């Protein structure tokens, strides 16, 4: 299907000059219309930075140092998101793209009712709607996320965490955006509530036709709710494939490790072996493949050469950045230069 958001060669640094560290490198990503794209990786892998960068919410010391982000309208036109003015961005954000952040349920205003917070969004962006129409729309939005209309009069503290999070999702959907980005949207909730909310979101996506970027460290949730999954490590995408392909046949040793870090929901039990060691700090990113200090399969090239994200032999449906799947270049260790 057609793309709705494309990211090409995106680089983000924290800081400038000598103190700059690379937070994102060479990010290529396409979100297709109507799909749920999952972004996985341990904390510090760059998932949230990517969400902030593509939505232009990155704040200093984070700076975009290269690459492009384009939004593709249904009429075929494309919008260069990195070139939008502040005013254009404000309009773009709620109407075309909205974001639900981790702990968003705590960002509801404690002194305003659900009704006033939902109708505020509508008043700001849909001036043509009168008061009764705004209220009707607020009811409709609550119904979308499975909350009864009598909760409109409630204050945030009168709602459970799960309900508050669903109110935030209702707000994100208020202006019928094409893209909803969810950054760890359910991490603070219990497992049953997490699945209930995500199931609802996927159903809404089918009804309303928006696309979702779903970010979480919990790859078992991504396997269950995403169409495709991109796995990040050390500020790069290291593997991307359809969710079932990642689950059945992970090609990158890090993807394999992540899959073994969570209990499987369905299918055969996996041994929870996890991944030895911990993810690198941005300020001390290992050379070559950033995963090499933790990788049980490293070859000579891994410590010095960054593997490109490319299709492995004979499978154009996926990409992987690992020397096990691409012809490794000669390295100093295997081909010493002649003096």
Residues that bind ligand SF4 (CB under 6 A): 252-253, 289, 291-292, 295, 297-299, 302, 307, 322-324
- What residues contact residue 99 under an 8 Å CB cut-off, 6+ apart? 51, 55, 57, 93, 172, 180, 181, 182, 183
Minimum CB–partner distance for residue 205 and Mg ion (Å): 22
Contact predicate 50/57, CB 8 Å: no
Does position 211 interact with Mg ion (CB under 5 A)? The reply is no
User: Which of ligand SF4, Mg ion, none does residue 48 bind to, with CB < 5 to 8 Å depending on kind?
Assistant: Mg ion
Largest CA distance in the chain: 83
Q: Which is nearer to Mg ion, 137 or 217 (CB)?
A: 217
3-state secondary structure of 105: helix
Q: Stretches 5-13, 43-51, 266-274, 322-330: which one binds Mg ion (CB under 5 A)?
A: 43-51
Cβ nearer to ligand SF4, comparing 74 with 281: 281
Q: Which stretch binds Mg ion (CB under 5 A): 40-48, 87-95, 126-134, 169-177?
A: 40-48
**CA-to-CA dists, residue 333 to 210, 297, 329, angstroms:** 50, 17, 11
**115 or 251: whose CB is closer to ligand SF4?**
251
Nearer to Mg ion, 122 or 182 (CB): 182
Indicate which of ligand SF4, Mg ion, none lies near residue 250 (CB less than 5 to 8 Å, by partner kind): none
180 membership: H or E segment, kind and range: strand 179-183
For 71, other C-beta atoms within 10 Å of its C-beta total 21
The answer to whether 45 contacts Mg ion (rule: CB under 5 A) is no
Instruction: Say which residues have a Cβ less than 8 Å from residue 176's Cβ, sequence separation at least 6.
Output: 208, 210
Phi, psi of 11 (to 5 degrees): -120, 135
Look at residue 253 and give the partner it binds from ligand SF4, Mg ion, none, a contact being a CB closer than 5 to 8 Å depending on partner kind: ligand SF4
| Phi, psi (degrees; rounded to nearest 5) at 79 | -120, 125
Instruction: Give least dist CB 329 to ligand SF4, A.
Output: 12
Which of ligand SF4, Mg ion, none is residue 225 near (CB under 5 to 8 Å by kind)?
Answer: none
Let me know: does 104 contact 42? Beta carbons within 8 Å. no
Q: Which of 48, 49, 98, 113 binds Mg ion (CB under 5 A)?
A: 48
The distance of closest approach from Cβ of residue 40 to ligand SF4 in the complex, given in angstroms and rounded to an integer, is: 15
Q: Which residues contact 14 (CB under 8 A, 6 or more apart)?
A: 20, 21, 23, 61, 62, 63, 282
State the nearest-atom distance from the C-beta of 326 to ligand SF4, in Å.
9
Binding site for Mg ion (CB under 5 A): 48
């Amino acid at each position: 299907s057609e793309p709705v958001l494309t990211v090409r060669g995106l680089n983000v640094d924290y800081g400038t000059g000598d103190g700059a560290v690379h937070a994102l490198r060479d990010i290529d990503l396409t979100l297709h219309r109507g799909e749920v794209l999952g972004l996985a990786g341990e904390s510090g892998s760059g998932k949230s930075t990517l969400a902030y960068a593509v939505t232009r919410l990155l704040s200093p010391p984070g700076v975009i140092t290269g690459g492009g982000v384009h939004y593709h309208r249904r009429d075929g036109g494309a919008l260069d998101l990195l070139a939008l003015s502040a005013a254009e961005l404000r309009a773009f954000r709620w109407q075309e793209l909205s974001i639900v952040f981790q702990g968003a349920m705590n960002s509801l205003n404690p002194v305003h009712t659900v009704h006033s917070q939902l109708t505020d969004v509508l008043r700001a962006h849909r001036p043509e709607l009168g008061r009764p129409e705004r209220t009707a729309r607020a009811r409709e939005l609550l119904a979308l996320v499975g909350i009864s209309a009598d909760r409109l009069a409630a204050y945030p503290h009168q709602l459970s965490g799960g309900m508050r999070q669903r109110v935030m999702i209702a707000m994100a959907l208020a202006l019928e955006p094409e893209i909803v980005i969810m950054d760890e949207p359910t991490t603070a909730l219990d497992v049953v509530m997490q699945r209930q909310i995500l199931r609802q979101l996927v159903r809404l996506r089918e009804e309303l036709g928006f696309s979702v970027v779903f970010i979480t460290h919990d790859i078992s949730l991504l396997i269950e709710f995403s169409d495709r999954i991109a796995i990040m490590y050390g500020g790069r995408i290291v593997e991307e494939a359809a969710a079932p392909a990642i689950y059945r046949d992970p090609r990158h040793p890090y993807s394999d490790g992540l899959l073994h870090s969570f209990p499987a929901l369905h299918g055969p039990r996996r041994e929870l072996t996890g991944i030895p060691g911990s993810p690198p700090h941005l300020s001390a990113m290992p050379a070559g493949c950033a995963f090499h200090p933790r990788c049980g399969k490293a070859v000579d090239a891994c410590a010095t050469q960054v593997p490109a994200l490319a299709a492995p032999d004979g499978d154009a449906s996926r990409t992987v950045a690992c020397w096990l799947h691409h012809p490794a270049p000669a390295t100093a260790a295997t081909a010493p230069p002649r003096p």
